[in-house]
Amino acid sequence: MPIELKVPEVGESITEVQIGTWKKREGEGVAMDDSIVEIESDKATVELPAPAAGTVTKILKASGEKARVGEVIGYLEPAGSAAADPAPPAAPGGQPVVDVKRTGSRVDIGSVQMSPNDGSRVMPAAARVLGEAGVAASAATGTGPGGRVTKEDAIGAVAAAKAPAAVSKPAPVTAAATVPARIPGAREERAVLISPIRRRIAERLVEAQQQAALLTTFNEVDMSAVMALRNKFKDVFLQRYGVKLGFMSFFVRAAVEALRAVPQVNAEFRDPHIVYRDYADIGIAVGGGKGLVVPVLRNAETLSFAQIELGIADFAKRAADNKLKLDELQGGTFTISNGGVYGSMMSTPIINPPQSGILGLHAITDRPVAVDGQVVIRPMMYLALTYDHRLVDGREAVTFLKKIKDTIEDPTRLILEV
């Protein structure tokens, strides 16, 4: 009995999604919990796992199409159900029979049953590969569930069958094998469907510009002390906690202290009220597989350096794999964005509404600065704070950024909380 593949619940109030990349094709075998297809919403991308081992028999929604939550988008034939099907006749000598039908350029290949003493079964995709190449199914060794011959097994068998001919007589190089040169001055265009996440990012950025009174103030920070401290303890830190000591944990801790000193930056404008918070949920902007996402470190004021670094490393890994959970992307009170990892010298970041502030970090560069009346070379970084002027005045914004600067330039303040 085929199993229906349905669009899962991907978050509160989300009723429609976009079908992303199908990881498995029709006729391809899957193991239980294998990722079958990506489901994209305007807030996150989730993967639909296989509810059982078997074969994807039908895909109803192609990549890019819309689907409702709970809608059937495909079918999966469980592995056990195929065993009840009658086996096709075997050729003399116990060889399996491959039924190949050609209609124009299309090849239809029926199910292939191995010889009775073999006990394994050729998957439909594998049968297609073997049939088109004219290779017997017995030449493939099944590595799939229950000894089934997968498409990869079939490709390997075909390659092995053709290997002797390739060694004895190399295939001639023809003009068709060469890659056509790009025509100079060609004016090509590609239309790519906007993903729900990218559309939502665009909407929120425009919303921030239209609904908040945004202003950015700048400062610069000498990174010498933090770099020296990091170099001194990075090996011990890695050995003890299993994660590298980065600069972001220093800035998260510095931001927590600055938010305590200037609570307006940690507040939210809810007309006719201003809501102040005594906790700090810090969003960390990371590049995901489908675009920029901002997972949140909850109660960052309670986290140690190791907990912060472990959390950020976990976010970055799962963001690249599109495996962040929806609730991890919601509810932040302040955001830190590090454009310096891409080489940014200076920028004006845009707040993540309804937050009131975002701290932008930039590249560390050696620059001449005046220290105690002397010109010296120091590793310097520009800082940018974009804030909502409806809640935060210029004095508070400058005070906040100066607090960040003082803490980073003398990180012992993080221990003494001064």
Q: Return phi, psi of residue 52, to 5°.
A: -160, 165
Helix axes 394-409, 248-261, angle to 10 degrees: 140
- CB neighbour list of residue 233: distance below 8 Å, 6 or more residues apart: 245
Is residue 301 within 8 A of residue 282, CB to CB? The reply is no
Distance separating alpha carbons of residues 295 and 43, to the nearest angstrom: 11
According to DSSP, the β-strands at 334-338 and 296-297 are unpaired
Distance separating alpha carbons of residues 269 and 264, to the nearest angstrom: 10
β-pair partners for 4: 75
SS3 386: strand
Taking the mean position of all CA atoms in its chain, how far away is CA 44? Answer: 10
Helix axes 224-241, 394-409, angle to 10 degrees: 60
* Residues that are catalytic: 389, 393
Distances (CA, A) of 289 to 21, 23, 343, 344, 404: 12, 15, 20, 21, 31
C-alpha angle 172/176/177, rounded to 5°? 60
SS3 180: coil
Residue position matching structure tokens 């999966």: 76
What per-residue string of b and e applies to 258-285 under the rule 16 or more CB within 10 Å gives b? Answer: bbeebebbbbbbeeeeeeeeeebbbbbb
Please give the structure tokens belonging to residue 184.
């100079």
